[in-house]
Amino acid sequence: MEREPQFTTDAPAFNDAPAFHDFWPGGRAPTVLQVVPTLITGGAERGCIDMALALAEAGGTPLVASQGGAMVRELDRAGIRHITLPLASKNPLTIRKNARKLAAIIAERKVDIVHARSRAPAWSAWMACRDTGARFMTTFHAPYNIGSGMKRWYNSVMARGERVIAISDFVRRHILENYETDPANIRTIHRGIDRAVFAPDRVSSARLIQLTRQWHLPADRPVILLPARLTRWKGQTVLIEALEKLGRKDVVCLLVGSDQGRSGYRRELESRIARAGLGNVVVMTDHCSDMAAAYLLSTVVVSASREPEAFGRVIVEAQAMGKPVIVSAIGAYQETVMPGETAWVVPPDDADALANALREALSLTPDQRDAIGARAQAFVADRYTRERMCADTLGVYAELL
């Protein structure tokens, strides 16, 4: 899933990350060059920044190459070198030119490992490692579409790493089903969230009040939250149909996410809301820069995706905030919840099942809601933290050395 807007903090330190100084083979921490298309926003970009910071904390030398973006300033603040290259380009000539430039960087900086997080820069990185002898690894962030033999070949570079990180078991299965890869080289490392951001006690009442006023939320109505960009496969239409079947007018449903230029789909949603008589129930908002507060204001968080998600960070964030969740039984979501314990899992594109799950979630007593919240927070803290993700990835770096 593409990363939804979240409240972020300035370049966090990994003071509680494991000290890997004594575990590097030969006693020398590595120099690792990560390559991504841009550093604007997104899960791959967030993971890149997090790993650069963690490697620095563990005594290594992180380098990052990309076409640039607002997130570069996080590297600058941490004193981490960013190298600007046109790595977002899929032009074959540019990819080869980038490969030569990366090879020069590898030689000059004595890079041990090149870690690629997207296909176009991965091809440049693979060629540069082939020419220099640096170790090549990838993180497979999504189950890329395979429409032709050429597309499969283009995607295959992400499965060519000496180590391939899959961000979920669902992605791992996709790799093994579609590419010639030794299963022994794949490591499943789930994405992790920042517990300094997604923790109920870190959200001030002032932030809650600000968001409540911004969205004109009444104080006495349960809030159903679906955070996702406005695109058909995210299932906003399924939720609207489920709300119509639910038949309650004493709730508020927040569709939080930008249409990213899909004005036609936005108009379709507005029309559906009006036809269903839900004009006083469904509120469509745009970008939210404080998702932690948005989760805390909600009664239940929904992901109604109609197509598989590679991970589903939103649902992990919601559980970290102690909220019950409803998810589609598709993709990686079934890995990131405890069905019947922290979540309702419903068939995708099934408005009746979603309506029934909403009915149950909204009927919870305060004690039941608190119990679910406690289980959800413990579940996420045990499996899906940024610290664990970074520690496991540092372990893969050590393997390669």
Residue 341 pLDDT > 70: yes
Instruction: Say whether both 320 and 394 belong to one domain.
Output: no
Average pLDDT of every residue of the chain: 92
Tokens describing residue 365: 């007593």
The secondary structure element, H or E, covering residue 301 is: strand 300-303
Q: Is residue 222 domain-shared with residue 361, that is, in the same domain?
A: yes
Does the pLDDT at position 150 exceed 50?
yes
- Cα 172 from Cα 191, distance rounded (Å): 13
157 and 50 in one domain? yes
Place of tokens 């807007």: 5
59: containing domain: 31-192+385-399
Spatial strand order of the sheet with 135-140 comes to 81-84, 61-66, 31-35, 113-116, 135-140, 163-166, 186-188
What CATH number is given to the structural domain containing 336?
A: 3.40.50.2000
Has residue 20 been placed in a domain? no
Residue at 341 is within a domain: yes
Q: How confident is the model at residue 43 (pLDDT cuts 50, 70, 90)?
A: confident
Let me know whether 152 and 257 are in one domain: no
Does 21 have pLDDT greater than 70? no
**pLDDT tens digit sequence for 78-121:** 999 999 999 999 999 999 999 999 999 999 999 999 999 999 99
* Spatial separation of the C-alpha atoms in residues 70 and 39, rounded to whole Å: 6
Using DSSP, state whether 224 is helix, strand or coil.
Answer: strand
Same domain, 370 and 390: no
Residue position matching structure tokens 């058909």: 232
Q: How many CB atoms neighbour CB 65 within 10 A?
A: 25
Q: Residue 275 falls within a domain, yes or no? A: yes
Query: Is the Cβ–Cβ distance between 186 and 162 less than 8 Å?
Result: no
CB 17 within 8 A of CB 390: yes
pLDDT tens by residue, 55-76: 999 999 999 999 999 999 999 9
Angstrom distance (rounded) from CA 173 to CA 18: 29
Predicted confidence at residue 23, as pLDDT, reads 63
